[in-house]
Amino acid sequence: MNGWVTVAATNTLTIDPGVTVKAQGILGLWVDGALSAVGTSILPITFTSRAASPAAGNWSGIYLSPNAGTSALSYVTINYAGAYNGGAGIGYIHSAYRLTSFYVDSISPPLSNVSVLNSATNCLELYAASPAINYGRFENCAGTEIAATAASVPTVSDSSFIGTSAVWGFTNDTPANIINARNNYWGAASGPTHASNPGGTGVMISDGIDFSNFGALLSVTIAGSGSVYTSPAGITCNSGTCSAIFDYLSAVSLTAAPAWYSTVAWTGCATATGNNCSVTMNADKNVTATFTDNNNVRLNSATPTLHSRIMDAYNAIGLSGSGNIQAQVFTFLETPVFGNPVNVLLEGGRSASFDPTSGYSTMGTLSILKGSVTISNIVIK
């Protein structure tokens, strides 16, 4: 965006899944019509800074007016917004300048998997708005992470308010109207900082917020080729770090699904056996699943090299010449295709040190398009 973008009444702006919208300066998105920003877990939508070195307050943010009630947002991240703008913030609305990255005015569109991060002012401000907010994340806000004003009564669940007891996580300016904010993570497994929760060390919250059934945060980091899922459901992860909130003191089981040619090693578990790990959420937990290739194949030469798949060893031979591929006693879930003009000696049934044994290796269909292959101790399905 090179200036303020206004969506006129009766018009709809649609942002496709996977799109990143960048802005910089005193500008943002002003919606008098409707905003359709419906991403997916694989193709999220991001509104962010276009600065070379992004920082909080690089741009103003997003305003949804009372006419924008048909807007829909999911899997959206608003990052580096909340420009202070000399105290003018996102604009003069309801007789005051509003200092926030995201302002929802008198409407209640559902906000699912919507995160507001790195704001120079508030993250999300609601004015007479009561949307259902779930699976959100609010972090690094110089103001309040969610400010409910003008008798707003949102429902917030399964969301993360990241910060310490020095950070305002959630405020309600009409505490007589209790906001349902159960089943959230408040920055610490002990819950939010509030007089009614004397042991809480998470973000601060005001009166008028039901924070019961608060959760602890489980983060799973994946290294290598494989995936991890949890029971109860919450995390299905195949790369990077994935997080979810689980009930405080609950037991969570994690199951690894390695690639057929790898095994898993766990760290951070209370107990771990094979592909299974368990934790008790008496605090925030960090678990790492490291998937290591088995290296059950050797390309035997003057300088032998180890591989996890027969095809990897075959490709290492190159486009000419010959090679001796040795496979350990193992079931290879692959269907090799030998398509190069090379001569191959393929030997199976090898021990862990690649010595001959009386065993066999098993693999799928072998297709030989070029070259020649001499096979021993291999069962081909």
Whether the pLDDT of residue 159 is over 90: the answer is yes
- Cα torsion 169, 55, 137, 287 to 10°: value is -110
Q: What is the DSSP string of 256-272?
A: EEE-TTEEEEEES-SEE
Whether the pLDDT of residue 152 is over 90: the answer is yes
Token pair, residue 353, equals 């040190």
For residue 125, give every residue at least 6 positions away whose Cβ sits within 8 Å of its Cβ, in sequence order, or none: 98, 100, 102, 103, 104, 144, 146, 147, 149
- Mean pLDDT of all residues belonging to the chain: 96
| 115-129 confidence digits (pLDDT tens) | 999 999 999 999 999
Strand 215-223 to strand 209-210: parallel, antiparallel, or no bridges (unpaired)?
Answer: unpaired
| 40-94 confidence digits (pLDDT tens) | 999 999 999 999 999 999 999 999 999 999 999 999 999 999 999 999 999 999 9
Q: Are 316 and 346 in contact (CB under 8 A)?
A: no
pTM (two decimals): 0.80
Q: Which residue has the tokens 């065993």?
A: 359
Question: Considering only CA atoms, which of 110, 85, 107, 111 is closest in space to residue 98?
Answer: 85
Strand 305-307 to strand 297-300: parallel, antiparallel, or no bridges (unpaired)?
Answer: antiparallel
Work out the pLDDT band at 324, boundaries 50, 70, 90.
very high
